[in-house]
């Protein structure tokens, strides 16, 4: 596929935008330079078009927000109507109440709701609330939770974060209760919150989430579930609802409003009431346009039984991929992990570069065939039979090529573009 406009935009971007991107995962070094498109300009259902007119089937869905599909009529109309009436107002808008009530009705552990604009807003709001509620300062986490100081200070991109802030956040390992106990017992009565995705790339071992719930209670520590990806996808109440283990606070974002920037922190009434006293407030906090998008998205969820559809599609996709991995005897080189509603293809290898090279080769061959593979499958209401058949046709070819490359060990020689780079480099 030819992509002169993508390349020319990228050249201009490097002159005026550091790293050429606003979102590291969308940046040019996360895709196959020379093969993947760099700029997408429109979408319809599950399909997207790059600036050079090439068409792709999308599975990354804007990193999660597009849960109904691009260009959903009901949401587009709700957004256009609300924007015309008043995108944000000088006082509160009734949609704040209506949408909060809808969320409380649908999310079993939500007594109250505060809205934000993105995932980082609400994970940070939850951390501040937990600190204020408990009078403690330390945080224990696993997984990714956004760009703010309290979290990113723990990563290799911690530049600009004060040392005093970094010292307050500690990691534990998912599915490893001992590592959680260790972090909590090392700081008795000092840990305000444990924050984690109830399920991310790894499935919880039986009893793990229940034990996390119990241990946090024993330590007087709040449990915050980051449902930014899972909320409004695997259940309205995300993984907490799916597994029946309820947190004190939970954070929602991504798929709430089919692409409009909206997030929410929800939870137990007594904890949420701490927001009366702390400062979490912003000009766009009650953005009526995003709330109108959320209301329309919820109505579409009901009308189209979206969550059931996502699971059903995901299950068919997972079954077919598992069969391809087995029939190509690639069990040690390609693994399908996660839940069917959010599955991930990984390319395990002891050497980090080799793993990246293999994933890059798989991406390259998918992109050439019009499948915008990034590793994760986030099915939407608009992934149907046609999309499934297209995916399986592409994967059939790509698995065969991958097996040949694996037999000959010539992945590097087969790369037409550049291998992706890690966002978090080893120090
Ligand atoms: C699990 C999780 N939490 C939090 C965030 C941060 O959300 P945002 O990028 O909208 O700030 C993300 C973003 O990818 C995420 O995947």
How far is the C-alpha of 224 from the C-alpha of 109, rounded, in Å?
A: 12
Q: How far is CA 232 from each of CA 65, 150, 161, 384, rounded to the nearest angstrom?
A: 10, 26, 32, 19
Whose Cα sits closest to atom 2 in ligand 1? Answer: 145
Return the pLDDT at 427: 56
Q: Give yes or no for residue 58 CB within 6 A of ligand 1.
A: no
Q: Is the separation of the CB atoms in 297 and 75 below 8 Å? A: yes
pLDDT at res. 334: 98
Q: Is residue 256 part of a domain?
A: yes
The last residue of one of the domains, among 217, 251, 286, is 286
Question: Residue 83 domain-assigned?
Answer: no
Domain with residue 242: its CATH number is 3.40.640.10
Same domain, 107 and 237: yes
262 shares its domain with 402: no
Cβ of residue 145 lying under 6 Å from some atom of ligand 1: yes
CA–centroid distance, residue 17 to ligand 1 (Å): 22
**Do 171 and 222 share a domain, yes or no?**
yes
**One domain for residues 159 and 189:** yes
Q: How far apart are CA 379 and CA 61, in angstroms?
A: 8
Cα 61 to middle of ligand 1, angstroms: 14
- Residue with CA at minimum distance from ligand 1 atom 3: 145
CA 341 to ligand 1 centroid distance, Å: 17
What distance in Å separates the CA atoms of residue 240 and residue 219, rounded to the nearest whole number?
Answer: 20
The tokens of 122 are what? Answer: 């609400």
Q: Is residue 294 part of a domain?
A: no
The answer to whether residues 223 and 267 belong to one domain is yes
Q: Is residue 116 within 6 Å of ligand 1 at its C-beta?
A: no
Nearest to 6 by CA among 52, 54, 53: 52
In a domain, 236, yes or no: yes
Based on the fold, state whether residues 132 and 242 are members of the same structural domain.
Answer: yes
Query: d(Cα 155, Cα 164) in Å, to the nearest integer?
Result: 15
Ligand 1 atom with the smallest distance to the CA of 253 is 10
Of the three residues 256, 286, 316, the one that is the final residue of a domain is 286
In a domain, 263, yes or no: yes
219 Cβ partners below 8 Å, 6+ apart? 184, 188, 189, 191
The reply to whether ligand 1 has any atom less than 6 angstroms from the CB of 3 is no
In a domain, 244, yes or no: yes
Q: pTM for the whole thing?
A: 0.97
pLDDT value of position 423: 86
Distance (angstroms) between ligand 1 centre and the Cα of 259 equals 14
- End residue of a domain, out of 228, 254, 286: 286
**216 in ligand 1 pocket by Cβ < 6 Å?**
no
- How far is the C-alpha of 241 from the C-alpha of 364, rounded, in Å? 37
User: For a pocket test of ligand 1, which of 152, 229, 256, 290 has the largest count of ligand atoms closer than 8 A to its C-beta?
Assistant: 229
Same domain, 144 and 256: yes
- Ligand 1 atom closest to 120 (CA): 11
CATH number at residue 13: 3.90.1150.10
Range of the domain at 385: 4-70+305-414
Answer for the pair 346, 376: CB distance below 8 angstroms, yes or no: no
Is 29 inside a domain boundary? yes
Do 358 and 347 contact (CB within 8 A), yes or no?
yes
Do residues 333 and 262 share a domain? Answer: no
| Ligand 1 pocket member 226 (CB < 6 A) | yes
Contact 118 CB / ligand 1 (< 6 Å)? yes
Cα(202)–Cα(346) distance, integer angstroms: 12
Shared domain for 168 and 269, answered yes or no, is yes
**Measured from the CA of 143, which atom of ligand 1 is nearest?**
1
Pair of tokens at residue 43: 């979408």
Same domain, 120 and 255: yes
Interval between CA 128 and ligand 1 midpoint (Å): 17
For 331, half-sphere exposure in the C-beta direction (CA atoms, 13 angstrom radius) is 4
CA–centroid distance, residue 103 to ligand 1 (Å) = 19
CB of 124 within 6 A of ligand 1: the answer is: no
Query: So what's the pLDDT on residue 425?
Result: 74
Q: Is the CB of 238 under 6 A from ligand 1?
A: no
Question: So what's the pLDDT on residue 426?
Answer: 64
Ligand 1 site, residue 255, Cβ cutoff 6 A: no
Same domain, 133 and 270: yes
Q: What is the CA radius of gyration of the chain?
A: 22
Judgement on whether residues 272 and 318 belong to the same structural domain of the protein: no
Task: For ligand 1, say whether the CB of 228 is within 6 Å of any of its atoms.
Answer: yes
Average pLDDT across each block of 10 residues of the chain; the chain has 427 residues. List them in order. Answer: 92 97 95 95 98 97 98 98 97 98 98 98 98 98 97 96 98 98 98 98 97 98 98 97 98 96 98 98 96 98 97 98 98 97 97 97 98 97 98 98 97 96 78
Is 382 part of any domain? Answer: yes
Given a contact cutoff of 8 angstroms between Cβ atoms, the answer to whether 241 and 235 are in contact is yes
3-class secondary structure per residue, the chain: CCCHHHHHHHHHHHHHCHHHCCCHHHCHHHCCCCCCCCCEEEEEECEEEECCCCEEEECCHHHCCCCCCECCHHHHHHHHHHHHHCCCCCCCCHHHHHHHHHHHHHCCCCCEEEEECCHHHHHHHHHHHHHHHHCCCEEEECCCCCCCHHHHCCCCCCCCCCHHHHCCEEECCCCCHHHHHHHHHCCCCCEEEEEECCCCCCCCCCCHHHHHHHHHHHCCCEEEEECCCCECCCECCHHHHHHCCCCCEEEECHHHHCCCCCEEEEECHHHHHHHHCCCCCCCCCCCHHHHHHHHHHHHHHHHHCHHHHHHHHHHHHHHHHHHHHHHCCCCCCCEEECCHHHEEEECCCCCHHHHHHHHHHHHHHHHHCCEECCCEECCCCCCCHHHHHHHHHHHHHHHHHHHHHHHHCCHHHHCCCCCCCCCCCCC
In the chain, the number of structural domains is 2
């Amino acid at each position: 596929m030819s992509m002169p406009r993508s390349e020319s935009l990228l050249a201009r971007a490097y002159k005026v935008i550091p790293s050429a991107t606003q979102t590291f995962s969308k940046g040019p070094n996360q895709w196959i330079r020379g093969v993947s498109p760099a700029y997408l300009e429109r979408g319809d259902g599950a399909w997207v078009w790059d600036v050079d007119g090439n068409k792709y089937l999308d599975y990354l869905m804007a990193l999660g927000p597009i849960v109904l599909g691009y260009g959903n009529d009901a949401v587009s109309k709700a957004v256009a109507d609300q924007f015309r009436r008043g995108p944000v107002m000088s006082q509160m808008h009734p949609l704040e109440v209506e949408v909060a009530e809808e969320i409380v009705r649908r999310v079993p552990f939500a007594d109250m709701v505060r809205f934000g604009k993105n995932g980082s807003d609400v994970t940070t709001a939850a951390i501040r609330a937990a600190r204020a509620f408990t009078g403690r300062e330390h945080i224990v986490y696993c997984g990714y939770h956004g760009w703010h100081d309290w979290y990113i200070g723990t990563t290799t991109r911690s530049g600009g974060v004060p040392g005093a802030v970094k010292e307050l956040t500690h990691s534990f390992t998912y599915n490893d209760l001992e590592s959680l106990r260790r972090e909590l017992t090392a700081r008795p009565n000092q840990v305000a919150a444990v924050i984690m995705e109830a399920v991310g790339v790894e499935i919880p071992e039986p009893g793990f989430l229940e034990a996390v719930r119990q241990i946090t209670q024993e330590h007087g520590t709040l449990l915050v579930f980051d449902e930014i990806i899972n909320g409004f996808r695997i259940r309205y109440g995300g993984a907490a609802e799916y597994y029946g283990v309820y947190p004190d606070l939970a954070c929602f974002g991504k798929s709430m409003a089919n692409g409009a920037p909206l997030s929410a922190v929800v939870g137990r009434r007594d904890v949420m009431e701490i927001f009366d006293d702390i400062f979490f407030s912003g000009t766009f906090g009650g953005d009526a346009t995003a709330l109108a998008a959320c209301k329309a998205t919820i109505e579409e969820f009901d009308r189209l039984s979206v969550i059931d559809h996502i699971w059903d599609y995901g299950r068919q996709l997972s079954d077919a991929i598992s069969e391809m991995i087995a029939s190509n005897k690639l069990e040690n080189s390609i693994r399908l992990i996660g839940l069917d509603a959010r599955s991930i293809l990984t390319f395990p290898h002891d050497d980090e570069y080799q793993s990246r090279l293999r994933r890059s080769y798989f991406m390259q061959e998918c992109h050439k065939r019009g499948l915008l593979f990034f590793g994760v499958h986030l099915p939407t209401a608009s992934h149907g039979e046609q999309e499934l058949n297209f995916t399986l046709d592409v994967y059939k070819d790509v698995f065969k090529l991958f097996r040949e490359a694996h037999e000959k060990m010539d992945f590097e020689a087969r790369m037409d573009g550049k291998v992706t780079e890690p966002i978090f480099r080893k120090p």
